[in-house]
Amino acid sequence: MAVRRSSRTEQQLRSRCPIAGALDLVGDRWTLLVMRDLLFYDKRRFAEFLGSPEGIASNILSDRLERLERCGLVERRQYHERPPREEYHATARGRDLAPTLRELIRWGQRHVPGTAKEPPAGVTPAARRFMKARLH
């Protein structure tokens, strides 16, 4: 993660540009796909994320989930005590990425040949409606 922490726990930004700051948090190859799975496919458990078609490696997934938790975009909750098992949930801050993801979907549909024009199977009905909704 490119964001550096100061001794006072405040973030040291590489620039004051909001795009650069956002990319420091979510601008790698996998992070937005993990958020997509949380927000649009209702995936919560580690194995569910591993089942995504992009084929994220388990060590990278573990790193991204930890980063998302540190950044306050995801929270981890225990759902089974023995053996301990956890699942992940988007925080309000993480859910605020949904409109950005929707616009990336639309941009990809318009400008990246071969991408799906309709939401695939597995997208929750609420996410399907959200993706198709127009911005004000």
What stretch of H or E contains 93? helix 92-95
Query: What distance in Å separates the CA atoms of residue 52 and residue 50, rounded to the nearest whole number?
Result: 6
The dihedrals phi and psi of 112, each to the nearest 5 degrees, come to: -120, 105
Tokens encoding 26: 């979510």
The tokens for 89 are 């949930």
Q: Could you tell me which residue, 1 or 94, shows the higher pLDDT?
A: 94
57-78 pLDDT, tens digit each: 999 999 999 999 999 999 999 9
**pTM as predicted:** 0.85
pLDDT 10s digits, 112-130 = 999 988 888 889 999 988 8
Q: What is the pLDDT of residue 11?
A: 62
What's the whole-number mean pLDDT along residues 19-43? 95
Domain 16-132, CATH among 2.60.120.10, 1.10.1040.50, 1.10.10.10, 1.20.1510.10: 1.10.10.10
Query: In Å, what is the CA distance from 55 to each residue of 32, 81, 89, 98?
Result: 14, 28, 21, 22
